[in-house]
Amino acid sequence: MSHAYRSAYEQIVGARLAETKLARETVAPLLPRLSSLRAARLARALAGAVGLAGAACTVVCAIVGDEGSPTHALLGAGLAAVATYLLARGVLAIAGREARARGWELPRLTGVLDADLARIDASSPLPALRRRLDALEVWSTTLPLAAASLLAPLTLHYAFMAVTDSTSAESFSWWIRVSMVVVGHAHLALMALAIAFGRKLTTLSSERLRALSIHREWARAWGIVILVAAMPGILLLAVPPLLTALTGIAFIPLMFALARRRLMNERAALDLAEEASTVHVAADVRVAPLTAEESEWVALAAVEERPAERAHG
């Protein structure tokens, strides 16, 4: 490898390392918040999956279980989802603190300019964290919405009956079985609409997400679910669609609004971190010099011959 190449390599790679260090220092105060967002998204996805599994278990218990098992499965599903969320947040918070305590590790340099520049860019914490967050966005939005769509209606019914009528697990299990037959298709319709709404949120840009009319979105889903529930309801004195309307208005607007608000807040935190990193790296600023160890790494990589040069040597 020529002296000119080594000199250019050291200059370019050294400058890129210094810029990456500056970007990390700029974004460092925001990393705990971003790590918390990742933990929250993963915890929500896991909790949603547990909630859906619990809803499926409730259906199985209603079909083949004993008198009180559907009620126990329903309530257990909600508690299990909440416990999963809290446990996942706690475990991921500890893991995130340990990862941040290790700090930035200098990427292994090879002496090949393009390859080493790519390694340095890949070692920046923000792009990697953003990729993990983006991968979780759809799941962390749709799974909780789907689980809430199935669990919330009957859970609200149980809470209302427990307060007003002191219902037992056995008597409410009968209500669950009747609901499955009469308006089970409405529950599935709401789940499908909630999933579609969640996927729609994740496809919108931050600007379009803020401009989205949330009232139109939840009202549309609410109206469709009422119409679906009315299919057998005409034969049952309109009781199912009326009950569906009252139950849906109690949680569908809140469920849709919270999903949108949560995603907007998370997007705002990500945009802030990327803006801070981009502005400082692109600006004409004096970057901090490399440490002695980093300079030694660059120099050692620079003196190593590239495979192509050794082949032609």
Crossing angle of helices 125-165 and 113-123, in 10° steps, is: 30
Q: Which residues contact 126 (CB under 8 A, 6 or more apart)?
A: 23, 27, 34, 273, 274, 277
Q: Is the distance from CB of 253 to CB of 246 less than 8 angstroms? A: no
In 3-state terms, the chain is what percent helix, strand and coil (to 5)?
Answer: 90, 0, 10
Query: ∠112-115-120 over CA atoms, to 5°?
Result: 115
- Strand ranges for 162-282 from DSSP E: none
Q: Tokens for 233, please give them.
A: 């309801």
| pLDDT of res. 86 | 96
Supply the Cα-derived Rg of the chain in whole angstroms: 27
Label residue 204 exposed, middle or buried (CB < 10 Å: 0-12, 13-18, 19+): middle
- From first to last of its 313 residues, what are the pLDDT tens digits of the chain? 455 555 677 777 777 777 777 666 666 676 778 888 889 999 999 999 999 999 999 999 999 978 889 999 999 999 999 999 999 999 988 876 665 555 556 667 766 777 777 777 666 666 767 788 888 999 999 999 999 999 999 999 999 999 888 788 899 999 999 999 888 999 999 999 999 999 999 999 989 999 999 999 999 999 999 989 887 655 555 668 888 999 999 999 999 999 999 999 999 888 887 776 664 444 444 444 555 555 555 555 555 544 444 444 4
pTM greater than 0.85 (yes/no): no
| pLDDT of res. 307 | 46
Q: What DSSP assignment string belongs to 90-137?
A: HHHHHHHHHHHHH-PPPPPP-S-HHHHHHHHHHH-HHHHHHHHHHHHH
Crossing angle of helices 169-203 and 239-282, in 10° steps, is: 40
Count CB neighbours of 211 within 10 A: 9
In the DSSP assignment, the letter for residue 67 is S
Q: Is the distance from CB of 23 to CB of 277 less than 8 angstroms? A: yes
**Buried/exposed 56-90: b ≥16 CB within 10 Å, e otherwise:** ebbbebbeebeeebbbbbbbbbbebbeebbeebbe
In the DSSP assignment, the letter for residue 235 is G
Q: Is 24 helix (H, G, I), strand (E, B) or coil?
A: helix
| pLDDT of res. 285 | 41
